[in-house]
Chains A and B, each alone.
Chain A
Amino acid sequence: MPHVSLPKIGTDTAWRDAARGLIAAQEPPERVSWSRGEEAMPGLFDGAPAEAPAAASPLTVPRDFVALANKVVWHSDPERFARLYTFLWRLKDNKGLIEDRGDPALAKLREMEKAIRRDVHKTHAFVRFREVPTNGPRRRFGAWFEPEHYSLEASAPFFARRFADMDWMIATPDLTASFEDGSLSLSDGLPRPDLPEDAAEELWGTYFRNIFNPARLKVSAMTSEMPKKYWANLPEAKHIPEMIAGAPARARAMQEAAPTLPPLRSQKILDRLHGKGGDTAMDWDALRQKAEEESRDGREGYGRLVLGEGPHDARLMVVGEQPGDVEDQQGRPFVGPAGQMFDRIAAEAGLDRSAAYVTNAVKRFKFVQRGKRRLHQTPSTGDIEHARWWLDQEIRLLRPAMILSMGGTAAETLTGKRAGILKRRGHVEEGRDGVPVFLTVHPSYLLRLPDAKAQEEGTEAFRADLAAARAYLDSLAA
C-alpha cells in the first residue's frame, strides 16, 4: 500500500507530482493513502515505486481539473487528496467528466473548491494589519489570522501584489507568510503574536460606527457575509453589539424629531444663489463699484466683469451672451464684431441703439488661451447662475418696458429655457420678473453662417426680428 506524505508548503505541486507518478504506476485509488505535514518527509512514497516514469506516459488532463486540484488541496477535509486522486483516476479515461455537474464526486469537489475560494477571499478581506515600529527604511506591519482551511499559501500572493512597498507578516496557526524587501516566504505557523496597539484602529472604528445607517438594521445580512467566527480578529467588530442595540432608538428619534428651523445663514446663501435680496438699496454707482471690486480678483480663464451701458431711463434693454475679447479689453459691452453688426442692422430696422441699455447675460469673458489668442468658450450653467444676480440688479434698476433677448444664453437666463431658439424667435415670452422678453438669435450666429447666401437670408430675418421688436415696443407705449 503506497502512502504519500505531502509537505505543508507547496502542497499543490507536490500532490500533482505524486498523482502523476501514481497514475503512471497504475496504482488504483483504493490502494493509496495520503497525509500532509508532520508524519513524514515531503513527497516520499512508502512502499511504492517513488521514481515513476512520468515522462514515458505524459498524463494530460483538462485544464479545469488542474485549477480545481490547485484549490481543493488546501481544504481541511482529510479525504481531500484521496477524493482528488479518485476523480483523476476516472477522468484519465473520460475527459468529459470534468463538465458533468451531475456527477456526485465532482459536485463534492466543486463544493470544496468553492469553500477554498471563499476562505481565500475572506482572508483577503479580513486580515487587519497593525504597524510594527522599525528602524529600517521600509514600514513594517503584522497580522494574526485564523483561516478555516490551510489556505494561506493560496491567499498570500495577493498581499505581495498589493503591499509591495512595505514589509509585512501574516501569522496563522498553520503557516506564516512574510514579505521582506520584495520577496515572499512561507514558514511554520506561530502562536498568536503580540502586536503593538495601532492608533489607526480608533479612526477605523469611528468610520465603521458612522457609515452605519441605524434606520436600516439588517443584522443577518451582515453575519452571512461576516460570520462571528471572524470577529475576534477584526478591530471594528467590538463596536457591533452596541451599534445593534442602539439602532432602533436612534431611528425612532430621527422619525420623532420635529423639523427644525433652518439656520439663519441658510436663507442668505440661498438668496445669493438664486440671485435675490441682499443689498436691495444698491444704486447704479454702487453696482458699478462692486463690479470693479469683483473684477480685481481675477479667475483663470475668465476676463473682467463688464456691466451694461446706456441711458438709465431706457425703455428697451438688449441682452447678449457674454463679453468677447474686444469687450473685455475695453470694458464695454457690444463693441466687438458682433456688437458692430448689431448696431448696423438695428439702425436699418429703425431701432435706436443709443436709446437702449445694452448688456450681457453673463458678465465675464470666458476663454481658453491658445498661444496669443483667447478663444471664446460658451458659458456653462454655473456661469449663468453666477451672473444672474448682476443681470437681475440691472433689470431692477432700469425697469425696462421690454427686453430684447439675443441667443440661447440670454434666453436661458431670462426665460429659464435655452432650447428651440430658432422656433421661438420673433415671439414675446414672459420673463422671470414679468417683463416681456422678445426672443431672437445672437448676431454672432450670423457671422458663423457658412456662405454668403445664408448670411444674407440670416441678416434679413434678424432685421425683420428687430423691426418687429421695435413695433412691439411702440405698441407698449401706446
Chain B
Amino acid sequence: MPLDLNTKLAILSDAARYDASCASSGTSKRDSKDGKGLGSTEGMGICHAYAPDGRCISLLKILLTNFCIFDCAYCVNRVSSNTQRARFTVEEVVSLTLEFYRRNYIEGLFLSSGIIRSPDATMEEMVRIARTLRTRENFRGYIHLKTIPDASPELIAEAGLYADRLSINVELPTDAAVAAYAPEKKPESIRGTMGQVRQGRAAAKERSHTGKRPPKFAPAGQSTQMIVGADDSTDAVILNQSTRLYDDYGLRRVYYSAFSPIPDSSAKLPLVQPPLLREHRLYQADWLMRFYGFEAGEITGTEANLDLEVDPKLAWALRHRDRFPVDVNRAEREVLLRVPGFGTKTVGRIIATRRHRRLRWDDLVRIGATMKTAKPFITCLDYSPGGLTDSAGLRARFAPQPQQLQLL
C-alpha cells in the first residue's frame, strides 16, 4: 500500500535529524518584491522554531529517500537496518517546501538522500527538485543540497547553480575510521567533491573578458559534518582535521555531531549517551580558530582531548598565566581577544570606547563583558587582580563543584 504524505514526512524527517546543520545564513540577498516569485534571503538566517533538543528549525530538513545501498554503521538508514523505508516524489518535496514556506514555517529546503541505484541517479533527482523550485516555481528562499559522493561533476556543477549551499559529510575524523565504519564511502572521493565545489565557487567569481559575471555558484559556500564519539579519535585529531578542511576547501562550517543512539543500531557501535558536552567544547574550539586567532595546536596544548570542565579559552588562559593580567586600556585587539569573558563584540566596543575614556570596572560591565570570568585576567583604571591571577585555587573557581556520590 502506498504511504500517505504524512507518513512519508514522518519517516523521512526522522531519518534526516542526524544532520546537525540547519543554517540559512550567509547567502546572497534576494527578494520577491517584483511579485513574480516567492521568497527572500537577507544575509541573516532565521530560526523559525526550536525543538526540545534545543536545535533550531530553520529549514525543511528531509531525505528524498531513506532507501540506501551503503552500509555505514552509525547511520539509521544503512542497508542492513530494519527501519521503515519511504521515498518522496519530486512534486511532493516541491509542494511541501512551498506550502511550508508560504506559512512562514521555514527559510527553505535542506535536501539529502540515501543512495539509490547509483550516485548519479540519486544526485540527478535531487538536482531536479532544486531546478523545479528555482525555475518553474520561481522560489527565492534558501536551498541546501547534500551532494552525493561520486556523483558526476556535471551534476555538482548544476547543483551549485540552484543551491545556496552544498555540503558533503566527511562523516568521521580519520580515513581509517571511515574505512572501518562506512566501508562503501571513500574519503578521497568525498574530498574530491569538496575540491570541485571549491573550484566551482572560485570560477564563478572571475569575470569574463567582457567584464560579465558568471552565474553565482553556491553563494553560501560549503560545509561538512563529522560524527564525534563513534570512533576513538581525540579532540586534537578532530581539530587538526577541521583546520585542514577550512584551509584546503574553504569550508564555511564544520559541524560536529555527537554520536547519538539510533533506532535499530548496528552491533558495531557502542550505544552510549551522546557526548553532548564534548560536542559543545569542540564547537567552542572551532569558534576560537575561526574568530579569535587561535591555532588548533594551541587549543589542545599537550593534551589529547579538550578539558570538559572549563571552556577551551579559559583553559588556555589558565595554562598561560604569565601572559596575564592584560591592561584593558592598552592591550591590542589580538591580546584582548584572548581574554576569557571577552567576546568579539566586547573587544570591538572596548576599542571604540577607549577613544573617549579610560575604562573602569563598571564601564566593562555596561559594555557587556562577562566580568566574573574576566576578573583574574585583566586590569583596568580602578581594578587589579593582585595575586588572583597566579593563585593556586583559580581553576577550582571555574570548574564545576565536585558532586557528592549518592548512596544506592
Contacts and interface: CB of A to CB of B under 8 A. Distances in A.
Q: Is the interface of B mostly helix, strand, loop or mixed?
A: loop
Interface in B215-244: none
A104 B366 contact: yes
Nearest to A219: B52
A251 interface: yes
B60 interface: yes
A424 interface: no
Contacts of A382: 118-120, 150-152
B61 interface: yes
Contacts of B353: 99-102
Contacts of A219: 52, 54
B69 A96 contact: no
A17 B112 CA distance: 53
B366 A216 contact: no
Interface in A257-308: 257, 259-263, 265-266, 269-270, 273
B90 interface: no
Contacts of B33: 160-161, 164
Contacts of B51: 208, 211-213, 222, 243
B250 interface: no
Given A96-B355, A129-B102, A215 B69 contact: no
Interface in B357-393: 357, 359-360, 362-363, 366-367
A470 to B, nearest CB: 34
Contact of A162 (B31, B47, B263, B356): B31
Contacts of B6: 202-203, 206
Q: Is the interface of A mostly helix, strand, loop or mixed?
A: helix
Interface residues of B, number: 86
Interface stretch (B12-20, B205-213, B317-325, B332-340): B12-20
B54 A208 contact: no
Contacts of A251: 261
Contacts of B37: 164-165
Interface stretch (B79-87, B159-167, B285-293, B395-403): B79-87
Given A204-B100, A211-B17, A164 B34 contact: yes
B154 to A, nearest CB: 9
B284 interface: no
B152 to A, nearest CB: 6
B53 A217 contact: yes
Contact of A100 (B42, B103, B267, B356): B356
Given A208-B49, A266-B79, A385-B150, 4 more contacts: A102-B359, A165-B35, A207-B60, A255-B271
15 contacts: A96-B355, A107-B366, A107-B367, A166-B102, A209-B10, A211-B16, A212-B51, A213-B51, A214-B53, A218-B53, A218-B54, A222-B51, A222-B53, A254-B262, A255-B272
User: Which 4 interchain pairs have the tightest Cβ spacing?
Assistant: A221-B54, A102-B363, A262-B80, A218-B54
Interface of A: 96-97, 99-104, 107, 121, 124-131, 139, 141, 143, 158-166, 182, 198, 200-204, 206-222, 225-226, 234, 236, 240, 243-244, 247, 251, 254-255, 257, 259-263, 265-266, 269-270, 273, 380-382, 385-386
